[in-house]
Amino acid sequence: MPDFQLLEPAITPKDTVGFLLDWELTMKCNLDCSYCGTGLYSGHMNSLPHPELEKSLKTIDFMYEYVDMYMSLKPRWARKVVLNIYGGEALYYPKIDEIVSEVKTRYEPYKDNWNLHVTTTTNLILSRKQLEKIYESVDEFTASFHSESSAAQQKLFRDNLLFLSEKGKKVKVIILMHPGSPNWQHCIEMIDFCRVNDINNLPRQLDHDISDTQFNYTDEQTQWFKEFYNKRTFGDIDLEKPILKDNNNNNDLSQYGRSCCGGRQLCLNNEYKQRKGFVVGNNFQDWYCTVNWFFLFIKQVNGEVYTNKDCKMNLDSQVAPLGSLDDTDKMLSDLRARIEGKNLPVIKCAKTKCKCGLCAPKSVDRDRLLAAFKKYTITDVFSG
């Protein structure tokens, strides 16, 4: 368990805390990376068809109506919504140009209430013709670099990066640091490419199950991560505690701790001047968490709706969906009734590992969390 009691994102003028609408539009993908599982609840599943366009367009309306209720509870500075369209491979969706166009059109009724920033997480392996159809409707591209892709695909990735950069689009490259050879070197070369071309990039360690040791890091690679994170933080990261070793004497960073998926700096125990780029400990079981105030995850292929794509905690502190896209009215009316009745719970985490909800404020003590959370809301709507 962590040796701190409260975790919050650092708030800076350039990095306000918004709300992430995570929309898994399709599960089809044009890559098959070894660290990306295959299956309904994994990274991709090519046996599933692309979801129907009309149902997907209705999802946009639901997401906006849902997030609008949370935005009404937040101060003006925090009313920022990021819609992340991904997969599988989102740009592999045959009607993706219509999707991104409607995303902007259907936002119009809400534009005075909150700001929308449209992103897509993509491997960026697509033709220039396809990219030209959609890039103007997307505010920012989060491009994932996969070192297991072919030389031709990596060239296409670089060419598309340069195209977007020349068009003035915001681009962030997530470099998934593969410990194997020659993959690690490909990742280092991509970091250098981004640096030379002034492209924002974020190297990330690979998450994996404890039994899957192929993605553990050598001592040299672990030292590389330490030096990298120390450049992004205030104060040295703590690597004094023993990192779990496998039978090959490699380090399991995935079990030891993690950084924020989006590169956000984090603060511990209200120490706002001591920002961390890496947190030791990512097991927050039985902690109180505000993940529902910052995330919504839509799994379009089967219609399931969750607070967060990894923890999947619902408002009753269970690992279960909030509801289904087949009955969005029920989800909306339930949330509205909870807000009007000042009966929104604080979720108590049932998971043993936090992957992509790290930046949601959380604490082992409910009262301490609520005291810290006052800055994020203009009214008290919590139960109890």
As a whole number of angstroms, the distance between CA 78 and CA 17 comes to 6
Domain contains 381: no
Q: What is the pLDDT, as a whole number, of residue 236? A: 53
Query: Are the beta carbons of 260 and 9 closer than 8 angstroms?
Result: yes
Domain contains 278: yes
Domain contains 383: no
Q: Which contacts qualify for 380-384: CB closer than 8 Å, 24 or more apart?
A: 380/342, 381/73, 381/338, 381/339, 381/342, 381/343, 381/344, 382/342, 382/344, 382/345, 382/346, 383/342, 383/343, 383/344, 383/345, 384/345
Domain contains 288: yes
Q: pTM of the prediction?
A: 0.92
Domain contains 29: yes
Domain with residue 40: its CATH number is 3.20.20.70
- Angle at Cα 76 formed by Cα 75 and Cα 78, nearest 5°? 70
HSE (side-chain half, CA atoms, 13 Å) at 25: 28
Per-residue three-class SS string for 87-112: CCCHHHCCCHHHHHHHHHHCCHHHCC
Q: What is the pLDDT, as a whole number, of residue 238? A: 56
Q: What is the pLDDT, as a whole number, of residue 320? A: 97
Q: What is the pLDDT, as a whole number, of residue 237? A: 54
The series of mean pLDDT values per 10 residues for the chain, 384 residues long, is: 90 82 97 92 93 98 98 96 96 95 98 97 96 96 97 98 97 96 97 96 87 90 86 56 80 82 87 86 94 98 96 95 97 97 96 89 97 94 88
| Torsions phi, psi for 118 (to 5 deg) | -95, 125
Domain contains 382: no
Number of domains composing the chain: 1
Domain with 282, as residue range(s), is 6-376
Domain contains 384: no
What are the tens digits of pLDDT across the range 296-348? 999 999 999 999 999 999 999 999 999 999 999 999 999 999 999 999 999 99
